[in-house]
Chains A and B, each alone.
Chain A
Amino acid sequence: MKVKLLFAVILLLLLSSLSFAQDDSAEIDTSAVVEELVLPAPPGNLSGVDKPNDHGHSIDLSWELSPDDGGGLNTVLQYDIYHWVPNLMLELNLVRDSISVIQKIIRKTTNGIIEGSQADSMKKVFEKLSRSELFDVRNSLTEYVKKGNKGLAEACKSYPEGGAWLFLDKKPSGTSTFDHIGSKEFKSSGFVPDFANLYYRVDAVTADGAKASSNILGPIQSSGQWYNTFRTPVVFSVLLFTLLTVFFVQKARKGADLYVRPLGGIEAVDDAIGRATEMGRPILYVLGLGSAADIATIASFTILGRVAKKVAEYQTELLVPTYDPIVMTVAQEVVKSAYLDAGRPDAYKEDTVHFVTQSQFAYVAAVNGIMLRELPATNIYMGKFFAESLILAETGALAGSIQISGTDEIAQIPFFIVACDYTLIGEELYAASAYLGKEPVLLGSLKAQDYAKAAIIVLAVIGVILAQFDFGTEFVNLFEVVN
């Protein structure tokens, strides 16, 4: 009961301040001020469409430049974009702002609130509440916003009396388009309801503040689409590639002999493990600086699995210093399972995979230290590497280790090529696991990749030839993808 009363009082307080907020945010009446100012010519033909291929809540606006923008009096400095919102939206925005202030008080992050601002006055009211009251009020206000949003579409029909013009954004002179990307989150103050009547206006503004308004656009509605037609070429490519992969995998399963060209770096892995065994020195495996979500790191996990299995069979020592705690956890699991698969679970040591640091150069210092102290026979660098690639590889070369590297970071490939004995370039890193395993099913996917590459080469050659003629552009447009 107490909470309900509190909620009602706060809501009343907020709503009573609404008139102030409206006055503050609504259109400034410049008629008196601009009496002596020279008004610019207004922008013309404001039009808009629902943003295509999106999840809704957005409108694309376009207009003709004011004749005084770049010509005529040449006084237009910028365009102010406004949208009309019903009083209910203003009320809900205020409630959303208060929810945000309550959140900040709960999280003790009110430092950024400017003194004397509306948020500051809200803060002063809410700070008097206890923590549990704050939670209750926040939940009640959130529920209020949620219910209020359902009435927005109806409230939008009250144009023009039942609302006000709100400033949305400004664009510099010479601009004739604006994408109003609204939020789909009802809790956000930038929320734009779908299937509701929306109204827009664009003002040409001069340096001395004189404004001239365009025609009013509306009612216009936004809505979401179920399929992004801009990405149709990608859908076709992915489907084609998936079919190719499935076809070759099936072919491989039936026992077809699939030839894939040999990779020097992959063939060197077995030799390198053998060399380490003979020398009685460890193998250093570096997974790079990528996170577990990076595809290069995932590819590196698969290679680590193969290497660890061989290492377990040969009873060689493996060192895997990691940069990321999640990578460490996954790598531990991969290595442990590889030892298990090799039938040597007892040989697995908990320290094989260990965490070092999440600081780039501290990690380099630690790994370099391992290289110079342990003198590994083989260093394997597979994954995502950045500026540290050359420092690592050069130190390894100085320590006299055989080095095998692989990365998809274009800028680091030259460094690895220079400093390492074998380098897997780009896609070879992803293919390495399939090569190492030599399983027909995995080789099938590589075969599909080769055919896709051949198709791209053919298309590129056709594109180059057609580009010499007028209809080259049409061919290129077939593959255009808009984000």
Chain B
Amino acid sequence: MKRLVPLIITFVVGTVLILSVFIPPMEGLGENFTLFFDIIAVFAFFLGGGNLVRVHFQKMSRKSDDWEFSIVTLVGFFVMLAAGLFKIGNPGDIASSVTADGSLFQAIYRSVFVPLSSTMYALLAFFVASASYRAFRAKNREATLLLVAAFIILLGSTPFGTMLTSWVPESWSIFQIPNLAVWLMSSPNLAGQRAIIIGIGLGVVSISLRLILGLERTYLGDDNA
């Protein structure tokens, strides 16, 4: 029964959502199911917050490795929660927006959260460099092809690339590096991407059918198809 009910719900909801694509009067039903999902999501937020607090309290009480970090997490969690819930320092009354200028919530968000997030994002620049170094080592034929293509695209975006092949006559303009870079992006690259997209489309239909028909039940913990 525990697995039958979710299977029935999946079948009914999946079928209705498919039909709503083709039957205009059913469009509203599809929207309603999305709303149901949002309503359930609200309850899950409490579960998420509760789980976070429980896990970190346990770490602290057990004095697990690096338990000090849990103090930082919990202090951050409760301070933000209090600032948002009680609208500490809000210029308006309790009915005003939680993100109003001057509120403690907004102040912490701007002066702590945004810089920290930006710092994490900035790391990407260094990781791109290290990943590129590893990817562009011409250790086999494919990697060499990748290196050459990347080199042309990098060069094509610089004035140096334009200068380097400016002598190529107009009738052979495809061999000018900037044009070659555009061609690489708009032809072989796009063709490859579209092939992947077609595969993804088929994969989505396939897995959806498996779920709707109840063939795939691993997400319910049932290994037997």
Contact = CB atoms under 8 A, between A and B. Distances in A.
Contacts of B209: 241-242, 245, 445
Contact of B221 (A338, A361, A393): A338
B215 interface: yes
Contacts of B110: none
Interface stretch (B119-127, B162-170, B180-188): B119-127
Nearest to B59: A351
A25 B183 CA distance: 55
28 contacts: A184-B28, A225-B24, A227-B23, A242-B209, A245-B213, A249-B215, A299-B207, A305-B221, A324-B44, A326-B44, A330-B219, A333-B220, A337-B221, A341-B221, A351-B55, A359-B117, A362-B113, A387-B124, A390-B127, A391-B120, A417-B135, A418-B132, A426-B203, A427-B199, A429-B203, A430-B203, A430-B206, A441-B215
A12 interface: no
Given A365-B120, A425-B196, A426-B199, 6 more contacts: A228-B24, A302-B219, A325-B51, A355-B55, A360-B117, A390-B127
A231 B22 contact: yes
A446 interface: yes
Interface in A428-448: 428-431, 433-434, 437, 439, 441-442, 445-446, 448
A426 B222 contact: no
Contact of A334 (B25, B45, B120, B221): B221
A422 to B, nearest CB: 15
Contact of A359 (B52, B55, B113, B128): B113
B206 A354 contact: no
Contact of B199 (A241, A329, A453): A453
Contacts of A410: 193, 196-197
A302 B120 contact: no
A291 B45 CA distance: 13
Nearest to A232: B22
Interface of B: 18, 21-25, 27-28, 37, 40-41, 44-49, 51-52, 55, 58, 65-66, 69, 95-96, 113, 116-117, 120-121, 123-124, 127-128, 130-132, 134-135, 193, 196-200, 202-211, 213, 215-216, 218-225
A394 interface: yes
Interface of A: 53-56, 108-109, 111, 184, 224-228, 231, 234-235, 238, 241-242, 245, 249, 291, 293, 295, 298-299, 301-302, 305-306, 309, 324-326, 328-330, 333-334, 336-338, 340-341, 351, 354-362, 364-365, 369, 373, 387, 390-391, 393-395, 408, 410, 413, 415, 417-419, 425-431, 433-434, 437, 439, 441-442, 445-446, 448-449, 452-453, 456
A241 B124 contact: no
Contacts of A328: 44, 47-48, 51
Nearest to B66: A373
A329 B218 contact: no
A431 B203 contact: yes
A359 B52 CA distance: 14
Interface centre among B128, B198, B199 (most CB of A within 10 A): B199
A418 B147 CA distance: 12
Given A329-B47, A437-B225, A445-B206, A391 B55 contact: no
Contacts of A387: 121, 124
B14 to A, nearest CB: 11
Contacts of B193: 410
Nearest to B117: A361
Contact of B22 (A184, A228, A449): A228
Closest CB pairs A-B (n = 6): A337-B221, A325-B48, A427-B203, A361-B120, A430-B203, A305-B218
A483 to B, nearest CB: 10
A208 to B, nearest CB: 42
A245 B203 CA distance: 12
Contacts of B202: 241, 427, 449, 452-453, 456
B131 A445 contact: no
B198 A456 contact: yes
A108 B94 CA distance: 10
A328 B51 CA distance: 9
B221 A340 contact: yes
A394 B130 contact: yes
A333 B221 contact: yes
Contacts of B113: 359, 362
Contact of A430 (B45, B96, B207, B222): B207
B41 A235 contact: no
Given A228-B24, A445-B209, A329 B127 contact: no
Contact of A245 (B37, B49, B206, B211): B206
A234 B117 contact: no
A390 B52 CA distance: 26
A413 B206 contact: no
